[in-house]
Structure 1
Amino acid sequence: MGEIARTIETKLRAAFDPVRLSVVDESAQHAGHAGVREGGESHFFVDIAAPAFVSMSRVERQRAVNTALAEELAGPVHALRMKVEGD
């Protein structure tokens, strides 16, 4: 796991105390596309489930994740695909 992926995982664990969390670097699947950085860590998939999301709508859940990762999304992360569930 790379440095950015570890940062994403750390921030999401601190913000939501998830019961399930997976952070996958999908950058290699986007080779040749805009935003792909040399060495990867530009495109990610996050699968997260946490009790904190139970009362939120799908859009609210995604916004909460985006807020927690605002610094990464403003910099090194070009794209973030996510599955966010209340659990």
Structure 2
Amino acid sequence: MSTRDAIIKKLSEAFMPESLEVQDESHLHEGHAGHRPGGETHFRVYIVSQAFEGKSRIERHRMINVALAQELADSVHALAIHAQAPGERPR
């Protein structure tokens, strides 16, 4: 399973999102710290879930970091997070 697929699976199971998009942006970081041949090191996540209702931005990021602890410890160098509750406007 690719790292992107593992991220999608774990976030789907943890947060039952209304929408979820995971982009591999590794190609944008060639030559920078943490980049490896073959990519799968830098990701951007867009997620909308009821689980984030009433939570601060920091709380939401912590929740996602806990769900992806294994990936962050192993192969993911950078993770940009855009987490919203349903009905919120993008920040």
Give the TM-score taking structure 1 as reference length. Answer: 0.96
Deviation at 1:8, TM superposition (A): 0.1
- Which residue does 1:36 correspond to in 2? 35
- Which residue does 1:48 correspond to in 2? 47
Q: Runs of 4 or more off by more than 3 Å in structure 1?
A: none
Deviation at 1:55, TM superposition (A): 1.7
Rounded Cα–Cα distance in structure 2 between residues aligned with 1:71 and 1:50: 21
Deviation at 1:34, TM superposition (A): 0.6
Rounded Cα–Cα distance in structure 1 between residues aligned with 2:28 and 2:20: 21
Name the % identity. 49
Any stretches of 5+ residues in structure 1 without a counterpart? Answer: none
- Which residue does 1:27 correspond to in 2? 26
Give the TM-score taking structure 2 as reference length. Answer: 0.92
Any stretches of 5+ residues in structure 2 without a counterpart? Answer: 87-91
